[in-house]
Structure 1
Amino acid sequence: MGRVRIGTSGWTYPEWRGVFYPPGLAQRRELEHLAGRLASVELNASFYALQRPANYPSWARRTPPGFCFSVKGWRAVTHEHRLVDVRDALAAFFASGVLGLGDKLGPVLWQLPPSLRFDADVLARFCALLPRTTTAAAELAASGAPGSAVPLAVEERPLRHAVEVRHRSHEDPALAEVLRAHGVALVTADTGGRWPLRLEQTTDFSYVRLHGSPELYVSGYDAAALDDWAGRVEAWAAGGRDVYVYFDNTMAARAPVDALALAQLLGR
């Protein structure tokens, strides 16, 4: 059996206060509260801006042993450069402190913009640039930031990557072939039909993002929907894959509620 980790996309939302977070809980304690109830979280601040290097070890220290952070890749790579000529942007991303999560670092998520069409050659070149170990990521970071304080003496661990697609052209069967050839996960994303739902598994782990259906980012998942997702997760895990599931229906405080419900269904 693979290991299943269930969590939410982010943790700092005003709508969650007084619903998931107890009234009066200090905002600086919200991560600790979430980490006491769920096994993982998707760190999405890293998508919008490069973080201060001190942030990552601080987040790691505030969570219990075995907790896992998936990290959303910087949008300069995906939305500004659109996967082309991104070596320097990748170096800057890893130089920003991501490796400071240590053994709590999970997969890196690369979310493509809805306007980016499928191009097999561009995607293959991008995948080939991605570092596959923490030491390779440290070397890439140092090469792009000479004189920086990027630690080269990191403990070597495998580094996983996942790609979430949004343009309909990514329904092309060749997408899975490219990702499979490079050992990159194809994200299974439920978006209420707005963007492609791809269930193919392209590497040794599964990455699932549940954005809400039918209303994106808002709708919750009822018992029948959670049963369906639990069945898929169990099947992938039974095949030996680690499975990461993140609820992104954050706007009405449904994400943590649904994450806890799915975790209970799976006995996690």
Structure 2
Amino acid sequence: EFKSRLLKISDQAATQLRARTDDWTAITKTTFRRLGAELNTMTGYEEIDILKRKVVEQELRTNACRQASKDAKLRYEEAVAARSNSQREVNDLLQRKSSWSDADVSRFTVLIRQDHMLEQEETRAKIGVDEAEVSLEREFSELMRAILGRYHEEQIWSDKIRSAATYGQIAALALNLIVFILAIILVEPWKRKRLAQTFEKKTEELSAETKDVVEAGIADVKKELEVQVRALTVLAEAALKAEAERE
């Protein structure tokens, strides 16, 4: 029972940890996405993103026109081939016109009528090819303009960033120079004054310590002299007393 409760608690803790991790990851992604968007807006890169999307959209339109042009050319080739086959069959019938049967006459009539229809289809297919090529050329020109516009804006943005970086370096250099000058004008005198005060304080402390040592030494010498004087006095008194007794 204890193990089952422990496993249950561990599973709950792991689930909560995963949930918190997922929430933190989602919040982090959202935050970085927002910061990236704000940074692009501040630096002007947002316009380049718009131009990039325009280039992608124009590429899709150009590819669609290219595929439409291929399809139109294929239809035109099929129409030309169908009409060529029909004309070839008509020529074959005309070569043996003297021996036509009723079926040949009927087939010739059908082929003539069909040739007129095939000619119209070929004409329409040719017009479709021309229109598709014109559309492709127009969309390709738009694609080139979009690419050049994007390249131009990227160059302008790159120049702005380089200029900003250069100005930033100049500003940093100027700031360092100002700090250096202020250090020379303000900090160095203060340091010298502080050093002089510290030296003066140390000198006073050493003088006081030396004075105390000298006074203590003088006091010791004075005490020793007093002891010696008392000893000499005692000796002198003893000598005088002894001299008086001899007399």
Question: TM-score of the superposition, structure 2-length normalised?
Answer: 0.21
Structure scoring higher RCO (CA < 8 A, sep ≥ 6) equals 2
More helix by percentage: 2
Structure index of larger Rg: 2
